Amino acid sequence: MIELNELTKRYGETVAVDRLSFQVRPGRVTGFLGPNGAGKSTTMRMMLGLDRPTSGEVRFDGRPYARSADPLRHVGALLEAKDVHSGRTAHNHLLWLAQSNRIPRRRVREVLELVGLESVAGRRAGQFSLGMSQRLGVAAALLGDPPVLLFDEPVNGLDPEGIRWIRDLMKELAGEGRTVFVSSHLMSEMALTAEHLIVIGRGRLLADTGMKEFIARNSLTFVRVRTPEPDRMHQVLTERGITVTRAADGALEAVGDQAATIGELAARQGLTVHEVSVQSASLEDAFMRLTEQDVEYRSPVSRTVGQQGERQPTGQGKES
Ligand SMILES: Nc1ncnc2c1ncn2[C@@H]1O[C@H](COP(=O)(O)OP(=O)(O)OP(=O)(O)O)[C@@H](O)[C@H]1O
């Protein structure tokens, strides 16, 4: 188990990580989610002892992280995929890592096979695509057969087959009882991989929750109403105590699953409606809502739930 206790990192005025405390348990994939600049990489670097915390600490099974003679046997990590000696072949890169961590030579072949790079083992790592570099990084992380694995944005640059491969691999590693901690800025990706979720924004903890609970708590349903008389409809709905917002395209969005009530109210008031449809906000929307206040660089148009024009179609809307 990994335990963070009030972990803090300042760079001058910037508080990159702000009194972060949480635990990462073995036997499951824990997703580490946050928008760009939230402090994920800084946290992971401190977990690995690559950055010194301003205050607070990280403990592995109750002990403070100490640089050991063979760190790859304890914690495997994929941070910067392109962080390899570009002139070395993939095989020699891994061999050099194995030798400096007292790992038997035969393990190099094993991990090359495991990540599907055996046919390009003799090629220089500098010529690798981002996807191939990611695979080489995963091979390096697995080299020492460590009980703890940290992956920073591992699906970056991978094609759909590669993405599926890494998802399955992470679940498999967790299934073997290892501690698997993986960062991402994509909620949709995490929903398919992680069983537990840690969300941060501006270095602070925003959520520490099971994935199922997060989905249950954040799946927001609303009814989209299109009418040539939006002002009157708005008034009718609010008078009935229904919370209504206006979407970018002029449609009304009423919180809750009340399509029947809305249809009846419209009929009673003689209001024409062109659409009454139940919609579900995506998990990505829930994540955006959670981190809205904590995004370092915001797009000029801020996203709000229900702005139809900006949301990816969820495919969950149904006419009623
Ligand atoms: N070496 C550094 N010097 C100064 N500021 C830094 C340094 N490293 C990170 N920061 C700042 O700390 C904050 C957190 O950065 P970090 O890279 O950890 O975030 P992140 O969640 O990993 O984001 P991304 O997904 O974009 O990599 C940002 O404001 C960043 O600009």
Dist. CA 248 → ligand 1 center (Å): 33
62 neighbors 136 (Cβ within 8 angstroms): no
In this structure, what DSSP letter does residue 314 have?
A: -
Q: What is the dihedral of CA 286, 290, 292, 294, to 10 degrees?
A: -150
Locate 227 and state its tokens. Answer: 């009418």
pLDDT given for residue 167 in this prediction: 93
Q: Pick the residue whose CA is nearest to atom 28 on ligand 1.
A: 37
Q: Pick the residue whose CA is nearest to atom 8 on ligand 1.
A: 42
Given ligand 1 and candidates 41, 150, 294, which is best to mutate, with the most ligand atoms within 8 Å of its CB? 41
Dist. CA 211 → ligand 1 center (Å): 26
Q: How many CB atoms lie within 10 A of CB 203?
A: 24
Dist. CA 266 → ligand 1 center (Å): 51
39 lines ligand 1 (CB under 6 A): yes
Dist. CA 11 → ligand 1 center (Å): 9
* Gap between the Cα atoms of 100 and 60, Å rounded: 22
pLDDT in tens, the chain (320 residues): 999 999 999 999 999 999 999 999 999 999 999 988 899 999 999 998 889 999 999 998 887 776 677 788 889 999 876 667 778 899 999 999 999 889 999 999 999 999 999 999 999 988 888 888 999 999 999 999 999 999 999 988 888 888 999 999 999 999 999 999 999 888 888 888 999 999 999 999 999 999 888 877 776 788 999 999 999 999 999 999 998 989 889 999 998 889 999 999 999 999 999 999 998 777 777 788 778 766 654 544 433 333 333 333 233 333 33
Domains delineated in the chain: 2-215 (3.40.50.300), 219-319 (3.30.70)
Given ligand 1 and candidates 11, 43, 202, which is best to mutate, with the most ligand atoms within 8 Å of its CB? 11
28 neighbors 196 (Cβ within 8 angstroms): yes
Dist. CA 41 → ligand 1 center (Å): 7
Dist. CA 16 → ligand 1 center (Å): 6
Q: Tell me the CA distances in angstroms from 175 to 28, 137, 139, 151, one per residue in order.
A: 7, 21, 18, 16
- Of ligand 1's atoms, which has the minimum distance to the CA of residue 41? 22
Determine the 3-state secondary structure of 265 from DSSP: helix
Q: Is 215 exposed, middle or buried (0-12, 13-18, 19+ CB in 10 A)?
A: middle
* Gap between the Cα atoms of 295 and 283, Å rounded: 17
306 lines ligand 1 (CB under 6 A): no
34 lines ligand 1 (CB under 6 A): yes
Query: What amino acid occupies position 126?
Result: G
53 lines ligand 1 (CB under 6 A): no
Q: Tell me the CA distances in angstroms from 148 to 17, 62, 268, one per residue in order.
A: 22, 14, 62
Which residues in the chain belong to E strands, given as ranges?
Answer: 2-11, 14-24, 29-33, 55-60, 63-64, 75-78, 148-152, 179-184, 196-201, 204-210, 221-226, 244-246, 252-255, 275-280, 318-319
Dist. CA 36 → ligand 1 center (Å): 8
Dist. CA 76 → ligand 1 center (Å): 21
* Gap between the Cα atoms of 269 and 83, Å rounded: 66
196 lines ligand 1 (CB under 6 A): no
Dist. CA 159 → ligand 1 center (Å): 26
